[in-house]
Amino acid sequence: MWFNKSNGREEYELVNQAQIDTDLEGQSSGLHSVPTPSPKSSSESSSSEIFENIDEYTQRKDDRDDFNINPKFQTVLYKYKAIGSMNKKVCALISGCVAALWVIALIVYSQGTALSIVSDLKWKTNITVSGTNVTLNHYDPTNQNLTLELYRKGTFFPFKEQVEWLNIKQKPAHKAQDGFYLSRGSKGSFDVKSVNRESSRTIIDNIQFSYKNNFLTIDELKLNPGKSIDEAANYHIVVSNTLSQWRHSSFALYWIYNTETMEYKPIQPPKKQESQKEESPLDHERLKKLHFAEFSPNGDFIVFGFNHNLYLQNVESMEVIEITKNGSPNIFNGKPDWVYEEEISADYKLFWWSPNQENLVYVSLDDSKVNEYDLDYYIKNSDEIGDTYNESEDKTIDNVKQYPTKKSIKYPKPGTPIPIVSLHNFKLTTKESTKLTIENSSLGDDFLFYDGLWIDDKNFLMKHTDRTSKILSKKLFQPEISNKVEEINSVNVSKEYDGWVEKVSPMTVFPTDNEENSYVDKIVVNKRTHLALFEKAASQDPSRILTDSNNWEIISDSPVVVDKTENIVYCLSTMRSSMESHLIAVKLATESSINIVTDVNKDGVYEISFDQDGQYLNLNYNGPNNPWQKLINMADIHNILESRESKDKEKSVNDLIEKTKPINHVEVIDGSLKMTNIPTRLYKTVRVDKFPDKSPVNLNVLEILPPNFDPNSHKYPLLVHAYGGPGSQTVDKRFGIDFEDVVSAKLDAIVLIIDPRGTTQDWKSRAFVSGKLGYWEPRDITTVVSEYIEVNEKFINRDRTAIWGWSYGGFTTLKTLEYDHGETFKFGMAVAPVTNWLFYDAVYTERYMGLPSENDNYDKTSRIKEFKNFDSVKRFLIMHGMSDDNVHLQNSLWLLDKFNLNNLENYDVHFFPDNDHSIYYHNSNLIVYDKLLHWLFDAFSGKFDNFV
């Protein structure tokens, strides 16, 4: 398997990381108790036989060498180092020895055993773990270890400068070919800068403004897309008083900012002639918060949303007209409801302007038959809650709410009614909307609208699926021909590659010199995600497959960017490994050829943001070393790629990127890292099974070793973290100082982070989880961990093993404890867990499980079922936000009731009032991580061993 002599490609030593204090609240951890006899490894493993000849762990030959190079020893020795006569040298040597003995005696008296002293004074750079030689991060006993307090200060969080590229119309007229972007100044100002940093212009300096004796603060600025920033008379959108609603949506005040007069005018819906209730004079002055406000392509109109209706405002005249009038708690116009926002659109709006601004296509969602889920708020006032429609009044006495505020959301669960979609087109010339007719639809009335894009002025292309996201249909609306939506093609992805349709990055227009543009889309080739070029919107099949490797694929959520001038497509790939993302350029001149932009000979996780034309790149290197951010003029790279003089073009491109100066403050993290001892991160790919074709089933694993780790000193506790959601990725090679690193350093623990099968990688691997959530996750995790313990039993404390996760990770944690029944894992922590997939939303769950009426695994594998198995766990912890709109509190309450019925008492519970899925409200995020760390300390120090 993976623990016996892995090759150099399978592991990575993280050099630049952050670190932690080893003693919790000044107490000795006491984590090194005697373990129990070894339980047998999981029967699920297909490779246990490989462990028979594991190499013995090597030790350093001479401990004195380690002591002599120790900084503490050298400091003392230096003070007494002889300079001068022989007598002085002898005297100084004797004095030094006495002083050293005094220091050692003092440490023994103050800190305990000789073992702990040697551990402090000795640092082994090369050790053996799982049969593989490992180089540890530098350890300096004069530095402090990473702590939760240091982590919270943000000193290890990479700073990134905001970069919002200007389009060609927004740029200064005399510098239209240069790269310009909107950013924020140190005091919050909104500035336009150039890539070469030679010029900078402030659009708004003071982020506070007044309106009718009220002072407001600007949260966001949206530049007019149709005018140059040079124009004196210009209009921009300003956002203030933002209140989050769900994951992407919010309520806020929106303003039109006149750059010439420097006036701010509120964007508001027209006042109704007849009000349903009598309003006080103050109500007329109260501004209404909107869902959103967006410019039209030319910047002379603004579309905004209020109470689930769409409005159109003329920027010059300020005239407002209603696009829709039927918005209600059940009807969402141009705006996603909860499940669409969370699972499909990943956006706060559902409308699309044609490039020529003549047509506006929008989606309406009818939630009339969708069941509601109620949320109670015991502390928050109504104005603190992102309501779905209207605010309610609070009943308070002395600022105490006598009754909770009740809010309901439309939340479809598996097998229940979901939103019904209708499509509409608003014509700017007639100011009228028309409902579109969907022809020959075999997807059912409750189909899902996944994506939409204007390929050109004549063609609006869409992706629809059935409600279970198994049948993908491309459909086309052509406003110049009719109001019908015609099907272009349809594919059953479940049959084609055992897959499903999920949130994806949108299709990308490829401009042509013809009347109709081409477009680039992601397709599946040999069960891997790749790029394809479609000649026009109505094309049933791609004209060219741009990438088709059997060894790597395109990152599923990677942006796809077209540079029409150079005839190149850019995207991110897994060319080096599935734990990384590297930038490639696909040239389309004749036959597709691929140029590698970022160095695939080195580990790297990159993030990209191009300007509209693909001419300038905001390149973010996210790890594994200290992250940096650089702005690249792609013309410089093109010159190298097209040059006949450059022999090694890829190396020349890498040199160019290497020499480009970062725009973020890399030195800040560097300084923090030098003063802190950090855990060592090792990345591995392990084999747990075989596919039917005998190829290996591999999992990605991140191993974290504590500062000054020594496999020969004592036995370490082990924490495992997992998420495990289908298609997700937890293990990648980005730089990170996370909670797991804090645990490793603070509790002197080893941590494993595991991506079980069904997570990232290709569709061949993902297909395992289709129809049976909760089956493979616990088996893979238990297999990996039990065999890791078996191989490394010399330094793993079998009695101090725990697993933890949040959300889907909470489900994975509980399923693993249920499956393992206390053999491998003695403790567990589940935050906001799903406990039964009948309680989660229909779109996500049915995507993988299908309908409950058609799949028995809802009961067999996809809920917590064997409650008695938890009695074999020493102790576990459950925490949940009481107003969680995503994973409802119902999940934990249902589980606790089952525990009551089965006489289970070996667990702790903490609920957080008025908190959503992120658990942030009223200091809760501080508490939840403190609780996790303190609870783990108690578990690893033996407090729960005889707990009744």
**b or e along 879-902 (b: 16 or more beta carbons within 10 Å of the residue's beta carbon)?**
bbbbbbbbbbbbbbebbbebbeee
Q: Among 32, 917, 924, 941, which one carries the catalytic annotation?
A: 917
Q: Which of 465, 371, 464 is nearest to 838 (CA)?
A: 371
CA 6 to chain CA centroid, nearest Å: 29
Q: Angle 558-564-567 (CA atoms, 0-180°, nearest 5)? A: 85
Q: Given the structure tokens 């029944």, which residue do they identify?
A: 821
Three-class SS state of 48: helix
Give the integer Cα–Cα distance in Å for 463 and 474: 5
Q: Among 367, 451, 689, 884, which one carries the catalytic annotation?
A: 884
Prior bond to 624 cis, omega within 30?
yes
593-596: strand order across its sheet: 561-563, 568-573, 582-587, 593-596
Cβ-based neighbours of 889, under 8 Å, separated by 6 or more: 880, 881, 882, 883, 911
Give the integer Cα–Cα distance in Å for 928 and 943: 20
Q: Which of 828, 756, 826 is nearest to 796 (CA)?
A: 826
List Cα–Cα distances, 66 to 72, 101, 120, 124, 701, in angstroms. 12, 17, 11, 7, 31
- Give long-range contacts, CB 8 A cutoff, 24+ apart: 321-328: 321/431, 322/270, 323/360, 323/362, 323/426, 323/433, 324/362, 324/364, 324/424, 324/433, 328/389
Three-class SS state of 440: coil
List Cα–Cα distances, 583 to 353, 572, 573, 595, 650, in angstroms. 30, 5, 6, 9, 12
Give the integer Cα–Cα distance in Å for 342 and 246: 8
Report DSSP state, residue 168: T
Q: Letter for the amino acid at 181?
A: Y
Active-site annotation holds for 917: yes
Which burial class, exposed, middle or buried, applies to 661 when counting CB atoms under 10 A from its CB (0-12, 13-18, 19+)?
exposed
Give the integer Cα–Cα distance in Å for 655 and 406: 59
Q: Which of 811, 802, 852 is nearest to 833 (CA)?
A: 811
Three-class SS state of 114: helix
List Cα–Cα distances, 81 to 74, 76, 86, 98, in angstroms. 10, 9, 12, 13
Specify whether the CB–CB gap between 823 and 848 falls below 8 A.
no
Active-site annotation holds for 885: no
Specify whether the CB–CB gap between 628 and 605 falls below 8 A.
no
Give the integer Cα–Cα distance in Å for 164 and 369: 41
Active-site annotation holds for 872: no
3-state SS string over 590-603? Answer: CCCEEEECCCCCCC
Q: Which of 812, 818, 861, 817 is nearest to 832 (CA)?
A: 812
Give the integer Cα–Cα distance in Å for 160 and 154: 13
Tokens linked to 427: 């014509």
Give the integer Cα–Cα distance in Å for 28 and 941: 9
CA 658 to chain CA centroid, nearest Å: 27
Active site residues: 807, 884, 917
